[in-house]
Structures are given as structure tokens and as C-alpha cells.
Amino acid sequence: MKNKNYLILALFCALIFAGCSSNKSVSSGIPKSLKENAVIEYSMGDMARLEGDPVSAVVLLRKAYKESNCNRVILDDLIESYCYLSPEEMQRFNDVPDLICQYLTEVNFDEKIAEDFGSILFSRFQFEKWENIFSKLIEKYPNDSRIIKLLMFKVSRIDIKPEDFDLIFNLNPDSTRWGKIDLILQEEFIGLLNYIVNAFPDQAETVLRKSYETYGAKRIFQEWFQFYLERKNFDAAIALAEKYFAWDQELQKAYLPMLLRIYLSCDKYEKINEYQAFCRDIEDENLILIFISAAVYSDRADIAVDCFRKYLKISKNEEDKRNVKHLISSFLLQKGLKKEWMRLYKETDLNIQLSNYCYALAANDSSGSNNSEAYLDSLTALGLPKYRKNIILADIFECLNRQNDAKKYLNLLDKEDLTEENDIILATYLAFKGEEYEKAEEFSSALNNPGFSAFINGECLQNLKKYSLAAEWYWKAAHQDCLSLDNYFVIGTFFEMRGETDKLLAVSEKCYSRFPENSSAINYYGYSLLIYSDKTEKARKLIYEAFEKDPDNLGIRDSMGWLYYKLGKYQTSKVFFEEFIYNEVTNSEIAYHLGALFLKLSEPEEGKNMLNLAVKLNNHKQSVEKAETMLKYLNKK
């Protein structure tokens, strides 16, 4: 009965075909410009496919394909029908893989067709047929970077073989072409190297060395460098870095921070000091902080002060600045270098609570005297204006829990006196702490920026654990158009910790609308959508866009890793997370991500360790809760 139906349809199509021009489609489902016989065979085959008769469909579509001069539409339907055949039925159509191979090698190297058909063969355990297609593609396209994807496709289904390694070095012999390869494809290649390093540790060094020498790409050097770090072979890592840094300035700039961290962990402070001249030409805050730490540990006040001056010029983070100021202040005072402290104070304004309090105690040889006159004399010696002395004294007495004295000096302040941002923020904080809310709002308004004033009010109240009031001010600030990127991040994190994810999404969207070209803002909105909405496709596009703008950004790489995790591509996810895997993790969210990933990769011990670390770090509420839930489930098994 079915064959009769196919024949009737074929005759119908033939009649239509006879009255139509050859360059028009016979119907919306029939490809254009087919010969009459091909139209009949295709129509009958398509009907068989739709009626669930894959054997008849393959017979007819195979014939139509041959007569159509390799038509892509017919080929797609042929592949779809072929996938419904049983392994025994596939044996009847041994020429179909040959037709696919012929199309890929002689007509068009279409990765999707190669992967789709490969999946069919793997699902039916037809490994030899895939190997045959794969080898012919390599023979036809020996230097084509698209082979990387097929190698990864092979790795994800069957093991790669050592004889495949040479392909890695022959795909792209011109190292300048690495930068022209699609960024996602670059990550696939790195994933392939990552797999080889873990599956063939004896050959890992050779593969990594040859890969780097072939492509000259920083990402491959990183894999090589991380290979040594993972095995705690710091001497080899140092030797590798020093060898290639000598002739590659770009590489030195990219990986010097990592090398300096190794020196720091090995207490090789003088080695770090040798690179101090390099510090003058860089704008990397984290790198300068390493120089400062090494100088402090090695008692090199000259280097510490020089690097500190540089740091203050480039750092935009006020909290980090305060912490570094305190470090330098304490270091100089502990070494008895009061003159250096005074000189640095006049240059950089070491006006923070702890450094001034520390200096007041040191200047008076006191162990904590409550003599306000002594403090006043010490501050007067610094040549401070009267209003600033009042702020600092209020701060010191607040620290000593002498509220009445603190209020006394705070009430001596007028809004008009406050011209420096740090002074305004400190005065606002002290007023809120003393529960003088109107005074606090008056002080913050001196910033002359309603959005930033509201933000500072929220931040002060959050630090004082007055969360409901902080939420009100943060929400007011979020609706202004004058906040910085970091301000939006702080507000979003606050609402996330309170579980108000609708407000987090609104804040991240506002941030994105304010900074549409900034990779961190794009990533922030994309990641928020990925975690707290069902708009996965929109999240994917945003995170990809951020990654293309800044592929080395660790926050963006974390988002890419978690995106691939959510998509079920765990090996690719691991590629993006590997920098966190091999370095100390200090964030609960990243630790949770790694823990979940390790469990998916069948590495339960590593997974549990990371989940426990997420709980221990306890600096991202949602991730800690998820890690605890996962650990409870694992402990019950």
C-alpha cells in the first residue's frame, strides 16, 4: 500500500514538473533545479521518511541524491533517514558513508554534516566507517584548522591515538594564523591539548613544546606553564618562563605576574626585586602589589615606597588603596622610619583610620592613651587643616568606642568644609554609625552627585549591617545614570546576597545599558541571565560577545566555563576553568563551579574538596548554600 502511495505521489510530481520551468521550486518541499527523475525519487523518498519507513526512504533518497548532482537538501534528508536504520540495516547501505565522504572531500567540507553523520556512526558503533571518513578528510585538508573540531569530536566519543598527535603540528604551520582562528575554535584546540596532557602524561611535555613552537600562541604557553605548576615543579616553570621571556616581550608581559607569584610562594623576594625596573612601565595593579609585598618582606623600603607611589596613580579601587596605604604605613612605622612616613604622607595623603591611629600611638609612645590633647598635638604636627583634624579625631574616638567625644568632633564639621571625596565618605560613615541620619545625608550630598551620594549612603549602611536601609539607598542609586561600573557590581552583589534576584537582573541590565561596549558589563548582564533567568540563548550571546572582547579576563572565563557546564559540554567547560584549577581559589562561587564540574567529570574527591572549600570560604551566599546541598546529597550516597 505504501509503495502505491509513493508511486501516485511520484506521478503527481512528474506532471507538475513537466509544466514548470527548471529554475523554480516544484513545491516548497522539493529542491530547485532537479531533473525529472530526481524529483520523483526525492518526492517518494521524502514521503517514506515522513511516514517512518527509513529503509524505503534511504533507497529512494540515495538514488535521488546520485541523480541530483550532490544536492545538499536531499543529502540532509538522506542522513536523517539513515540514522533510523538498525546496525543490520546499515550493512545493506555500505555506500552511504562513501557518498557522505565524497560530498565532504569533493563538494563542501561542512563540519555540521561531518559531526551529524559521525554521531550516527558512533551511536551504531560503526567506528571503522568514521575513521575512514576522518582519514580522507585529513588527507584532503591537511592544514585546515577545522580538523581541530573533528579531533575534539573524536575525543568526546572515542580515544585519540598517539599517531594523531602529528596532526596538531601540521594543521597550521604559519604561526601568524593563530590569531585569525575563531576564538571558540582556539578554545577547542586548547581543550584537545588538555585532554592529551591528561591522557598521555609521558608525551605531554613533547606535545606542549612542539605545539608552542608551531603556533607561538600565549594560550599554548599557558598550558605548558600550568602543566608544571599542576605538578608543583616550580623549578621547571621558572626555567621555562625565563627562557622564553628573554625574546618574547609580549609573553613576558602576559605571564610575568604568574612567575612573580611563584617567586613569592618560594620566598624568592630578591628575584622579584630584580624585575622592579619593569614596574615603572606597567599599569597592572596586581603586578605592582606583588612588588610591594616582596619589598616589604625583604625590608626594601625604597622599592616599597616607589611601587606604592605608582600604585596610587593607577588604582581606581578606593578600598584596595586604603588597604595598601595601611600596609605601607604600618611597615614604615614598624621600621622606625617616621621621616619617610611624614614625607610620604605629604605626598600621598595617608589619611585613613588605621594609619593615622597607628601614627598617633607611635608619635606619643603610647600604648593606647585616651588623652585627646596628645592626639590633637600629633595631628597638628602633620599640618592638617582644622576640619580634617576633626574628622580624624572623630574617627579615632569612634574606634575607641568613645561615642560622646566622636560626636563632639563630628558636630564641629560643616558640609562646606568637606571638599575631598575620602573626607566626605568618612564623615558620612561616622554620622550613620552615630545614628545621625540627617547629618549623614547632608555630608554625602557634598559629593554633588545624587546617584553616587545614594550609593555611598547604601555602602555605609551595609557596612554597619543596617541592610534594610542600605537596600533603599542602593535601589535609589541603581536608577541613576551617574554610577561607575564597580558601583553597579556592588549593588548587584548586595541584592543577590539578599535573594532579590529580580533587582539583581534589573541592576545588571541597567549596568549593560550604561556601558554597552564594556566587556565586564556585558559579561555581568549575560552571567546574571544565565544564573537567574531562563533566557539561556540571550545569556550565551552576551557571554560570547564579552569573551571575544576580552578572552583573558578571568571573570569572563568563569562565565564561559559555567555556560558550557550548563550546556553539558564538560570537557570544554574545564578548559575555561583550568586557570582556577591550577591556582589558589579564593571565591566560593568559583569553588562551587569547579566542584560541580569535577563531579560531572567523574572526579568525586576533587569535587568534594572544592565544594567543601566553597563552604569554608563563605563569601558568596548562594554558592555556599548550593555547595552544602550537594555535599549532603553526596554524603548520603
* CA-wise closest residue to 77 among 90, 64, 92: 64
How confident is the model at residue 361, as a pLDDT? 46
- Half-sphere CA count of 87, side-chain side, radius 13 A: 8
How confident is the model at residue 405, as a pLDDT? 80
How far is residue 114's CA from residue 104's CA, in Å, rounded to a whole number? 8
Task: Give pTM, 2 decimals.
Answer: 0.51
Residues 6+ apart with CB under 8 A from 634: 599, 604, 607, 608, 611
Q: At what angle do helices 450-463 and 421-433 cross, to 10 degrees?
A: 50
* CA-wise closest residue to 244 among 276, 236, 289, 176: 236
**Residues 400/392, Cβ–Cβ less than 8 Å:** no
The DSSP code sequence of 8-41 is HHHHHHHHHHHTS-TTS-SSTTS-SS--HHHHHH
How confident is the model at residue 336, as a pLDDT? 63
Q: Which helix (H) or strand (E) holds 291?
A: helix 285-297
Within 335-466, residue ranges assigned H as helices are 338-348, 353-363, 372-381, 386-399, 403-410, 421-433, 437-444, 450-463
Residues 6+ apart with CB under 8 A from 617: 585, 586, 587, 588, 591, 624
Domain ranges of the chain: 232-349
**Residues 135/108, Cβ–Cβ less than 8 Å:** no
Q: What is the mean pLDDT of each run of 10 residues along the chain (637 residues)?
A: 47 43 40 64 80 85 81 82 80 81 77 71 64 71 62 54 60 47 63 72 76 70 73 75 65 68 74 68 73 79 78 73 71 66 60 44 44 56 70 74 82 84 86 90 91 92 91 93 89 91 94 94 95 92 93 89 89 81 76 89 87 87 87 80
**Residues 152/564, Cβ–Cβ less than 8 Å:** no
How far is residue 187's CA from residue 549's CA, in Å, rounded to a whole number? 15
**Residues 2/42, Cβ–Cβ less than 8 Å:** no
How confident is the model at residue 563, as a pLDDT? 92
Sign of the C-alpha dihedral computed for residues 21, 24, 29 and 31 taken in this order = positive
Question: How many residues in total does the chain contain?
Answer: 637
Residues 6+ apart with CB under 8 A from 54: 48, 81, 82, 84, 85, 89
CB atoms within 10 A of CB 266: 12
Residue 366 corresponds to which amino acid? S
Q: Exposed, middle or buried: residue 55 (CB in 10 Å: 0-12, 13-18, 19+)?
A: middle
Supply the DSSP symbol for 144: -
**Residues 160/196, Cβ–Cβ less than 8 Å:** yes
Pick the CATH number of 232-349 from 1.10.3470, 2.60.40, 1.25.40, 3.40.50: 1.25.40
Sign of the C-alpha dihedral computed for residues 334, 340, 341 and 344 taken in this order = negative
How far is residue 321's CA from residue 327's CA, in Å, rounded to a whole number? 10
Task: State how far Cα 592 lies from the chain centre.
Answer: 14
Cα dist. 311→189, 285, 325 in Å?
Answer: 37, 6, 10
* CA-wise closest residue to 394 among 438, 440, 349: 440
How confident is the model at residue 364, as a pLDDT? 45
Residues 6+ apart with CB under 8 A from 217: 175, 178, 186
Q: Which helix (H) or strand (E) holds 78?
A: helix 72-82
Residues 6+ apart with CB under 8 A from 468: none
How far is residue 506's CA from residue 132's CA, in Å, rounded to a whole number? 53
How confident is the model at residue 142, as a pLDDT? 63
Residue 398 corresponds to which amino acid? E
Residues 6+ apart with CB under 8 A from 101: 132, 133, 136, 137
**Region class of 388: left (phi > 0), else alpha (psi between -120 and 50), else beta:** alpha
**Residues 576/590, Cβ–Cβ less than 8 Å:** no
Long-range CB contact pairs, 198-206, < 8 A, 24+ = 199/159, 199/160, 200/162, 203/162, 203/165
How far is residue 149's CA from residue 171's CA, in Å, rounded to a whole number? 12
